[in-house]
Amino acid sequence: MRFFLFLSFGIFAGLCLSWPGLIIPQNWKCFNHIIAKSVDDKISLKAALEISPNYLLKGKNKKTASKIRIVADACFR
């Protein structure tokens, strides 16, 4: 039980350190807005500017986790 407590605290602390705006409701609206617009292929400029050149050069490696990371970087930082 103690292991799961420390594990969940560590995950939460790590997410808060990497994305400090994670607990602000306005940032979650931004996150949901970008996800909704990406369904219609109308991605926002803010999210487009967060894409690293390395991500664009690889081209083939577009996993769901990396897509979520890009959108989270755009809204939560």
pLDDT digits (tens, 9 = 90+) for 17-48: 888 888 888 888 887 877 777 666 666 666 66
3-state helix, strand, coil in the chain (%, to 5): 80, 0, 20
Mean pLDDT estimate for the chain = 75
For the record, the structure tokens of 70 come out as 């890009």
Reported pTM: 0.54
Q: What angle separates helix 64-76 from helix 25-39, to the nearest 10 degrees?
A: 130
Statement: residue 52 has pLDDT above 70: no
23 vs 68 pLDDT, higher one: 23
Domain residues of the chain, as ranges? Answer: 2-76
CA 72 to chain centroid: 2
Judged by phi (left if over 0) then psi (alpha if -120 to 50, else beta), residue 44 lies in beta
